[in-house]
Amino acid sequence: MTPLLEVSGLTVNYGVIAAVRSVSFEVRSGEIVVLLGANGAGKTSILKAVSGLIPGGGLVRFEGADLAAVPAHERVGRGIAHVPEGRRIFYNLSVRENLLLGGWVQASKAGAAQELDRVLALFPRLGERLSQAGGTLSGGEQQMLAVGRALMSRPKLLLLDEPSMGLSPKLVESIFTMLSDFHKSGMTLLVVEQNAAMALTLASRAYVLEAGEIKLSGAAAELRDNPLVRRAYLGE
């Protein structure tokens, strides 16, 4: 079966610094795949290259099509949505405006309104704060808004960069429950996450990066039992 996302020989450079070095991996439809690694390992750069926010060498295919010449906004239209690290919501815009910006790919106002209703059903708290500025929300609510904004495009592949960062343990648990629910509904997820223990419990497969290269890969359950992973990422 053709992978939903296929990355082959991906390189990302910032000047003379090689952040990602010939990385290859795939994400199959319906999977949750997690990228693990220390800060600076290249995880965020990989997500940005996949969504088209930064240029990268190598090959990125989505649904079998080469994305090399496809700009970021067109990748959203093809079904790739990116929830960036730090949420990156529009602080001065209302919750409603933030969400509707995520639905710009919808063919009509009626379609955007339908997606808005769907997102608000997933996140009732956002519905209570539609007129509030995004910057007035709590950290957990801002993360809901960032995810909700991405969902407004009805993505086939959702990229999430550190979705639990800066949240309380209770909210972290809620975020992972939400991701599990997305998976059960058939959504495909590529996740960068600092909480390795919970990420490996959630994921189908995982890749471990070090200095811009993949050092380990396999089923999440197998990596949870790997001594190197347990020592480096699980504190055991």
On whether the CB atoms of residues 119 and 197 are closer than 8 A, the answer is: no
d(CA 171, CA 180): 14
What tens digit of pLDDT does each residue of 103-146 get? 887 767 777 888 899 999 989 999 999 999 999 999 889 999 99
d(CA 180, CA 197): 15
DSSP code of 225? Answer: T
**pLDDT at site 195:** 86
Q: Which has the closest alpha carbon to 222: 235, 207, 211, 209?
A: 207
What tens digit of pLDDT does each residue of 27-73 get? 999 999 999 998 889 999 999 999 999 999 999 999 999 999 999 99
Four-CA torsion 226, 232, 233, 236, nearest 10 degrees: 70
pTM for the predicted model, two decimal places: 0.92
Structure tokens at 101: 């910006």
**Helical H segments across the chain, by residue range:** 43-51, 72-78, 95-102, 109-122, 124-127, 139-151, 169-184, 196-202, 220-224, 227-233
Give the CA distances from residue 211 to residues 23, 71, 140, in Å, rounded to whole numbers and listed in that order: 11, 27, 31
Structure tokens at 13: 């450079």
d(CA 210, CA 127): 41
Burial class (CB in 10 A: 0-12, 13-18, 19+), 227: exposed
DSSP assignment of 151-167: HTT--SEEEEESTTTT-
Planar angle of CA 29, 198, 98, nearest 5 degrees: 65
**Residue 75 pLDDT grade (very low, low, confident, very high; cuts 50, 70, 90):** very high
**Residue 19 pLDDT grade (very low, low, confident, very high; cuts 50, 70, 90):** very high
**pLDDT at site 235:** 65
